[in-house]
Structure 1
Amino acid sequence: MSLLTKRLIEPLNRAVNKTLSPLFLLLIRFYQLTLSQFIGQQCRFAPTCSHYTAEAIRIHGAIKGAYLGVKRISKCHPWHEGGVDLVPPVDQER
């Protein structure tokens, strides 16, 4: 990535994360306190998909964290065994 691109994209990325991260975390918490209570403990993963997504957003920011959360939720079907699936560290691509 060129220096000019880096100077343009990084501040924009920080601004987006600063704005969207709290909003996404608020929506996840709302889900956990409302809908999740009615659905019950259905998640085949540990931690649950909502906890995983919240942690991914805290670690990786709003955009990549939401992407990791959607990727995780897409594995939630009867043909996937589930199990322990932790958020990858910042330096590890998934």
Structure 2
Amino acid sequence: MKKVLVFIITGYQKLISPFFAPRCKYYPSCSTYAELAIAEFGIKGLFMAIWRLIRCNPFSHGGVDYPSKNAVLKIKERQLI
């Protein structure tokens, strides 16, 4: 289940997201947050991602919001590659 959801999110990131300007008020982006949360927490990560999408609205202040401390390391590894 985790792999299927992560595959769908990765497909969105590579095929659909490049056609739109970056708009996310949070760092990492909502799709990256969802990918990391689901990969680490499974179904709980799915609910974390849904809650993040609900919070991402014109009235939110945004900011830095990682799903876990491990996610920080994974994002830094991606930036080095």
Which TM-score bucket, shorter chain as reference?
A: 0.7 to 0.9
Q: Which runs of 4+ in 1 moved over 3 A?
A: none
For 2:65, give the aligned amino acid: D
Q: Which residue of 2 aligns with 1:66?
A: 46
The TM-score, its normalising length taken from structure 2, stands at 0.80
- Identity rate, percent: 33
Q: Which residue of 2 aligns with 1:21?
A: 2
Which structure has the larger Rg? 1
Which gives a bigger RCO, structure 1 or 2 (Cα 8 Å, sep 6+)?
A: 2
The TM-score, its normalising length taken from structure 1, stands at 0.69
- RMSD between aligned alpha carbons? 1.5
Q: Number of paired residues?
A: 70
SS of residue paired to 1:74: helix
Kindly indicate whether the alpha-carbon contact (under 8 Å) linking 2:34 and 2:48 is maintained by their aligned counterparts in 1. yes
Kindly indicate which of the two structures has a greater share of residues assigned to helix. Answer: 2
- Runs of 5+ unmatched residues, structure 1: 1-19, 90-94
For 1:23-71, what per-residue CA distance to the aligned partner results, in whole angstroms no more than 9, with x for missing partners? 000000000011111122111100000110111012111x111110010
Shift of 1:88: 3.7
SS of residue paired to 2:33: helix
Q: Which residue of 1 aligns with 2:63?
A: 83
SS of residue paired to 1:34: helix
Q: Which residue of 1 aligns with 2:14?
A: 33
